Amino acid sequence: MKLAYLWIESYGVFKETGFHFSNNYKFDYKLGTLTVSNTLEQVIPNDFFGANCIDVSVVVGDNGAGKTSLLKCILDCMACGVDDIDLSFIAVFYDQPPTELHIYTHRMPVIQVTKDEGSSATVIRLDESAFIKEVNKTKLVYISNALDLNDYSLKKRGTVFDGSTGGLLRRDYFSNQESRHITSEENPVYNFFNNEVYRQIDFLTQNKFYDSERDMPFKMPEFLEISVVKNDRNLKNTHEILSIESHAKYGSENQTIEIMNENEKIRELLYMVHDSLWRLADNKEMWFSQIAEHLVINAIKEVAEPNTTADKRTTELTCLLEVFEPFKEGTETILSYCRNFLIRASEKIKEKKSINAYRLIPYQVFIEWLIQNYSFFDIEVNSAEPSLAVARLKKGNLNTFKDFFEHYNKTCRPYFYLNFSWGLSTGESNLLSLYARLYSVLKPDLNGGRSKQIVNHIPSGEVQCSNVLLLIDEADLSYHPRWQIKYLDALLGILTTVYANYDVQVILTTHSPILLSDVPRSQVLYLKDGKVHHTEEHQETFGQNIYTLFNDAFFLDTTVGEFSDRMIKEVSGGLDELLKVAIDLNNSSYDNNDRNRKNNENNYIPTLERYEYIIGIIGEPVIRRAFESKFQQIRSAYLSKELKESITRYNDLSPEDRDRLIDYIIKTSDERQ
C-alpha cells in the first residue's frame, strides 16, 4: 500500500493544497467532494523502480516553497491516529491487487467521493481505527543530512524512525544515557559521531548487503584508521584541576611544603606510564599502551575530578594516591600495570563507601578486554607515527571491532582519545552513512546483529510492518555532482537488498536537476510559493538535459549567477555608450577633434581595460564574441588619422615589403634603446 494523495487544509505555507504521490489516479477536492479520475499520462510499470520499490516521488521548487514542510506534514498526518494533532486533511492510499483506494479524513466534514466513468478502483473509507492499523503496519523513515534545530529539539510524533542528523544527535544522546553507556555530562556531538561510526561498522558486518556493484557505487572500505590522540594537554589540564581540589585538604595558605609535595604526588600519579611509553620497542604494544594511559587518566578524571564547585572529591583523590605504585619497566606490561592500578583503586574507594566507585568499572573492563584480545586485534601500526594504526576489516574480525568500539564509547566521556577515519571522500562517507542509517531501521537480533524484520513499537506491543515510507529531505545535500548522478540508482539498489521483504515508497526533496533527471515528470511535485504547479506545465524530466531542468524545475529567471549577470549588463551598457561616443568622433573632422579624441581615450583607458578583462573571462561564446566586436570598433575609433592611414598603407603592402617594414621597426627600436 502506498500514499497516493494528501490534501491539507492548513500547514505552514500550504492552504487547501493537494499533493499527488502516484500517477495511477488523479484526485481533486473541492467544496466537500473528492473527485477520482484516471490519469491522462501513461501509468508507470510496477517494477520500474525495482522489485520492491513501488514508487519514487521527487519534490522540487524554489527556496521557501515548502519542500521540507511537506515532508513534516506527511509525518504529522500519519501520526494523527497516535497523537491528538489539530490537522484537517484527506489521505488516500493505493493498494493492488485488487485495485483499491483507501480514503481517510481527519477533522473534516463528511465528504462525497465521485469517480469518473472508466475508473475501476474500489473506494474504501477508513475510520480512525482502520487508519491507525494501516499506519502501524507502515514504517515511517525520515532522513536528512542537514543539522536542523527542529529535528534536534523536537522528537517526531508517532513511530517514526528519525534518521536525520539532528534527530540522531538527540536520540543517540538520550538512549545511551538510558542504557548507562554515557552520563549526562557527555558531549552530544562527540557521542553522535561515535554512534555514527558504530552504525557504519554495524552495516559493514553484513557484507552480504553490498555484493553487487549496483548497490554500492564505490568500493567499500576494507580498512579503518584509528589514531590515538596526544595526551599532553589532557594531562596538564587534569593536573591543574586535581591540584586545586587537593588544596581543600589544607586549612592554611602557609602549608606551602605540604601543598607542593601533594602536587608532586598528583603529577607522579597522572604521569605513571607517560615517559615509559616511548621506550617501548614494539609498535603494537605502544599503540595499546597509549590507549591504556588514556583509560587510566579518564578513570582518574571520572572519580576524582569534581563536576561542580559543591562537589568534593578529596576522599577519592586520596585513595588514588594511596594505592599508586610507580611503574617498574621490565616487570610487567603497561596494560597489566594499568589494570592492576584500577583494581586497587576500586577496592580502596569502595572501602571508603564512596558512591563514585562504580565509575571505574567501564575502564577496568576495557583494559581487561584489550589484554584478552591483544593477539586477535588485526592492526598495523605506523612505525613513523605509532599513535596511528590501520585496522584490517575482515568478515572474521568485524565483531571484534564492534566490541572495541562499544567499550570506547563507554570510556571516552571525560576525554575523547581516539579518532576514526575510513579514508573515504565526503560523498562516499555520506553514502555509507545513509546506508548505515537505513540498515539500523532493521530490528536487532539476539546475536547483536540485525534481523530482516522491520517493526513498529506501539503501546500494545510490537507490530510487524509490511511496507516502508521513506522520506529524504535535501537528498543532494553535500554530494558532488558525480555522486548525485549515482545517488538514486544506489539508493534503489540498497533498498532492494536491505528492505527486500517490504514494499518501499520514496518521497525526497532536492535542489539537484541531476536527481530530477532520474524520474518521470509524473513523479515530480513542483512547488512555488506554497502552491503545486501542474506537471503538464513543465517539460519531461526523465533523461532530460540538466540545463533545461535548472530553468524549468527550479523556476530560475537567469542561467548565470547574479554577480556575473550584473557585470555582463554593465559591460553591455558601457560598450554601447563608448561606441556611440566613438562613432560621433569618427563623423567629425579629424583636425578639430584630435585633441578631444586623445582626451576621451585617456579618460576611458581604465574603463576599457576593465571591460577587456571581463570580456575575456565570459564563458558564453556568443556574448563574448559580440562584446569583442564592439570593443574592437571602439579601439579603432580612437586611432589617430595618421595611424589609420599607416595601417591602410601596411595592408596594401606585399608580404615581402611587410617583412622589411617589420625588420626596420625592430632595428630602429633596438637602436633607440
Which pLDDT tens digit goes with each residue over 131-173? Answer: 999 999 999 999 998 888 888 888 888 889 999 999 999 998 8
- The answer to the question of residue 448 being in a domain is yes
Render pLDDT for 109-137 as a digit per residue (tens, 0 to 9). Answer: 888 988 877 677 788 999 999 999 999 99
Stronger pLDDT, 567 or 334, i.e. the higher one:
334
653 within a domain of the structure (yes/no):
no
Tell me which of 35 and 636 has the higher pLDDT. Answer: 35
193 and 72 in one domain? yes
* Boundary of a domain, candidates 553, 583, 612: 553
pLDDT-derived band at 456, boundaries 50, 70, 90: very high
CB 123 within 8 A of CB 98: no
Mean pLDDT over residues 385-401, rounded? 83
Higher confidence at residue 51 or residue 216?
51
What pLDDT, on a 0 to 100 scale, did the predictor assign at position 7? 95
Stretch 502-527: mean pLDDT, rounded? 88
Q: Which of the pair, 551 or 410, is modelled with greater confidence?
A: 410
Pick the closest to residue 4 from 532, 573, 469 (CA basis): 469
* 171 in the same domain as 37: yes
Amino acid letter at 302?
Answer: E
| Cβ atoms of residues 144 and 478 within 8 Å | no
Share of the chain above pLDDT 70, in %: 85
* Parallel, antiparallel or unpaired: strands 2-11 and 89-95: antiparallel
Which are the contacts of 152, defined by CB distance < 8 A and separation ≥ 6? 166, 167, 169, 170
The model's confidence at residue 82, banded by pLDDT at 50, 70 and 90, is: low
Domain of residue 629, residue span = 562-639
> Which tops the pLDDT comparison, 435 or 587?
435
Among 168, 638, 45, CA closest to 440: 168
Mean pLDDT score, 472-479:
88
Would residue 344 count as lying in a domain? Answer: yes
Q: Do 432 and 544 fall within a single domain?
A: yes
pTM, two decimals, is 0.75
Mean pLDDT value of segment 408-435? 86
* Bigger pLDDT: 22 vs 413: 22
Task: Report the chain's C-alpha Rg in angstroms.
Answer: 36
> How many CB atoms are located within 10 Å of the residue 386 CB?
20
Cell of 438: 537505513
Lowest mean pLDDT among 135-144, 424-433, 649-658: 649-658
Please count the structural domains in the chain. 3
Q: State the DSSP code for 97.
A: T
Q: Report, as an integer, the average pLDDT of 395-401.
A: 77
- Residue 35: is its pLDDT beyond 80? yes
266 with 391, same domain: the answer is yes
Residues 493 and 587 in one domain: no
411 domain-assigned: no
Does residue 435 belong to any structural domain of this protein? yes
Of the residues 553, 584, 619, the one at which a domain ends:
553
Give the position of cell 559493514. 204
335 within a domain of the structure (yes/no) = yes
Instruction: Please check whether residue 669 lies inside any domain of the structure.
Output: no
pLDDT-based confidence at 48, cuts 50/70/90? confident
Q: Kindly indicate the confidence band of residue 663, based on its pLDDT and cuts at 50, 70 and 90.
A: confident
Q: How far is CA 26 from the centre of its chain?
A: 35
Q: How far is CA 112 from CA 5, 19, 121, 125, 416, in A?
A: 16, 19, 16, 11, 61
pLDDT of residue 311: 59
Residues 6+ positions from 640 with CB-CB distance below 8 Å: 590, 594, 597
Interval 281-303: pLDDT, tens: 899 999 999 999 999 999 999 89
Are both 547 and 621 inside the same structural domain?
no
Overall residue count recorded for the chain in this entry:
673
Do 17 and 99 lie in a common domain?
A: yes
84 and 197 part of one domain: yes
Supply the pLDDT for residue 55: 92
| The domain boundary residue, chosen from 351, 374, 395 | 395
Task: Please tell me whether residues 528 and 597 are part of one structural domain.
Answer: no
Contact between 475 and 508 (Cβ < 8 Å): yes
Per DSSP, the chain holds a count of helices (H) and strands (E) of 22, 21
Query: pLDDT at position 424, please?
Result: 85
**pLDDT for res 332:** 92
Query: Is 596 within the bounds of a domain?
Result: yes
Average pLDDT, the chain: 83
Please tell me the distance from the alpha carbon of residue 101 to that of residue 35, in angstroms, as a whole number.
Answer: 12
Interior angle at CA 10, CA 109 and CA 14, nearest 5: 135
Tell which residue, 318, 335, 337, 317, has the closest CA to residue 327.
337
User: Which pLDDT does position 227 carry in this prediction?
Assistant: 93
Decide: 570 and 549 in contact? Cβ < 8 Å: no
- State how far the Cα of 550 lies from the Cα of 559, in Å rounded to an integer: 8
Residues 194 and 331 in one domain: no
Lowest mean pLDDT among 162-171, 524-533, 629-638: 629-638
Greatest Cα-to-Cα distance within the chain, rounded to the nearest angstrom: 112
- Give the pLDDT of residue 558: 61
Local structure of 130: helix, strand or coil: helix
User: Does residue 516 contact residue 60 with C-beta atoms inside 8 Å?
Assistant: yes
Mean pLDDT confidence for 584-593: 58
At residue 535 the predicted structure's pLDDT band, cuts being 50, 70 and 90, is low
Q: How far is residue 67's CA from residue 24's CA, in Å, rounded to a whole number?
A: 23
The per-residue pLDDT for 595 is 57
Question: Is the pLDDT reported for residue 612 higher than 70?
Answer: yes
Angle between helices 334-351 and 361-373 (to 10 degrees): 150
Rounded Cα gap, residues 84 and 644, in angstroms: 86
> Average of pLDDT values for 543-563?
65
Question: How many C-beta atoms lie closer than 10 Å to residue 574's C-beta?
Answer: 18
Confidence class of residue 585 from pLDDT cuts 50, 70 and 90? low
DSSP 343: H
Same domain flag for 155 and 15: yes
Q: Are residues 202 and 68 in the same domain?
A: yes
Is residue 144 within 8 A of residue 160, CB to CB? The reply is no
Residue 502: pLDDT band with limits 50, 70, 90: very high
- Identify which of 44, 10, 9, 53 has the alpha carbon closest to the alpha carbon of residue 30: 9
In 3-state terms, what secondary structure has residue 366?
A: helix
What's the N-to-C CA distance of the chain in angstroms?
89
Who wins on pLDDT, 589 or 358? Answer: 358
Q: CA 108 from chain center: how many Å?
A: 39
